[in-house]
Structure formats: C-alpha cells, structure tokens
A = this chain, B = another copy of it.
C-alpha cells in the first residue's frame, strides 16, 4: 500500500527543507512539487532536482484543485509519493483538501514540517506570538474587501497584533505590494472612519522573510507608503498594545522611531 508524504520546503530557496524532508524525497518513488500557494523567490526546480538526485514533477493549481490531485494520488496508491510544498504543509487549505481526497482513497498521509511565513514574520518583528489575534490575507485591489480592515479593528480593540499576508498570483507572477495593501486599508478607513488604519497608524512591513536579506521596517503608514521594500513576498503587521521588550525590538530590528514606546502598556 502506498502513501503520500507532504514535505514542507520552508522559505525562500532550495535550502529551507529539513534534513528529514530531504530524506523523504530521496526515498520516494515519485516526487511532486507545487509552487503556487506561496512564492519562494530563489527556488529553482532544476537546482532542487540536483539536491534530491531525481526528477521532480511540477503540479499546477488545475491539477491539484480542479482534478483533485489525481496525478499525485495515482502515484501515492502505487508507492511512496512526496508532495513538496512551500512553507509548512497543510497551512494552505488546498493541501487539506488533497489530504482528505487521499483519505477517501485509503492512502495514508504523513507531514514533514518546515518553516512557515507565520512564525517567521513574528520572529523577524520581535513581537510576542501570544499577542497576535486572528490573521488575514489582503487581496488584490480587483477583489477589494473590507475584511482585512475589520480584522485589524477587532484585534486592536482587544489590544492584539494582526498579521496580514499579502496576496500573490504565483502563476501570473503578480504580488500585492505593501503600498497597494496599505492603500486598500486607507480606502476602507475613509469610509468607516473608525480610526484603525490612518496615515499615522504604526505598522510593520516585512519583505522576503526567510531570505538572507529580509527587510523589516516599522513606522507610520505614511512612512511605509514611501519606503522601498525591494522584491516580494510581503507581509504586514499592525501592532496592538506593546510589551516593553516588543517596543525595543521594533526600535532595534525594524528601524522603528523611538516614539513607538508610547504604545507600551
């Protein structure tokens, strides 16, 4: 009986996978990869084929979602199949759907974890994990939504931080920029007038988490709108109340102005 092993690639490039993940790929009968649920700037399938020493089959969104992962599951019925995915597996709902499909076909599944953008951004900012509330994805302007603003509002009311992931269209090679994300929130502010995201609001922009040159910048929304973050992927954090140590971390590692100390509770 076969099995399907979800192996996380971690962040950024071919070296984010764990030693165990690499072993699983090396011992698999068939290795697949999907690269559309997150963006890994320096990842090359050819480079990774050299690391693993075998052919890796790239599966598209159409194959995984519209065709219910048939190509992967057929291989997993016959032997050991590995599906390599960006970040930590099963955080993307499409992986959960595939795992359910596997269970329906009687295929055993396992997970090999790796770094996720979620904990990476928290660590880079130096903010405390247990002070984050619900997180949210900010969509492209063509899918304008008030939801991210309302999530930030709900968290702020509770004194909590908000992690915002910025949408990507990996197959179209498009990335929502931090500027576009902030502008969408300011547009909602103009309508709602709840004083949640104004030009003066403190925010933290993060670019290329997990790379050797991540950019982490804390400042007012106005300041971030004019800041050059370099290439994607991007995340955005709206801090709530700050612990003393969180304020110092933003000053030391995110170029925050000393005035962030006024948010310390």
Q: Which A residues contact B (CB, under 8 angstroms)?
A: 8, 10-11, 13-20, 22-23, 51, 87-91, 93, 95-97, 99-100, 103, 109-111, 113-116, 118-120, 122-124, 126, 128-137, 154, 158, 160, 209-210, 212, 245, 248-249, 252-253
| Cβ A10 vs Cβ B18 within 8 A | yes
| Cβ A130 vs Cβ B123 within 8 A | no
How far apart sit A110 and B210, CA to CA, in the bound complex (Å)? 10
| Cβ B19 vs Cβ A15 within 8 A | yes
Residues of chain B within 8 A (CB-CB) of A99 are 126, 249, 252-253
Residues of chain B within 8 A (CB-CB) of A115 are 8, 18, 88, 113-116
How far apart sit A50 and B154, CA to CA, in the bound complex (Å)? 49
Known: A18-B17, A100-B245, A134-B158. Contact between A91 and B122, CB under 8 A? yes
User: Which residue of chain B has the shortest Cβ distance to A165 in the bound complex?
Assistant: B130
How far apart sit A84 and B71, CA to CA, in the bound complex (Å)? 39
Q: Quick one: which of A13, A99, A114 has the most chain B CB within 10 A?
A: A114
| Cβ A245 vs Cβ B93 within 8 A | yes
Residues of chain B within 8 A (CB-CB) of A88 are 115-116, 119-120, 123
User: Which residue of chain B has the shortest Cβ distance to A123 in the bound complex?
Assistant: B90
Checking B16, B123, B212 against A91 with a beta-carbon cut-off of 8 angstroms, the contacting residue is B123
Nearest CB of chain B from residue A145's CB, rounded to whole Å = 13
Query: What are 29 contact pairs spanning A and B, CB under 8 A?
Result: A11-B113, A16-B18, A16-B19, A16-B20, A16-B113, A18-B19, A87-B119, A88-B116, A88-B119, A89-B123, A90-B123, A93-B128, A93-B245, A95-B123, A96-B249, A99-B249, A113-B120, A113-B123, A113-B210, A114-B115, A115-B115, A116-B118, A129-B135, A130-B135, A130-B137, A132-B135, A133-B133, A134-B158, A134-B160
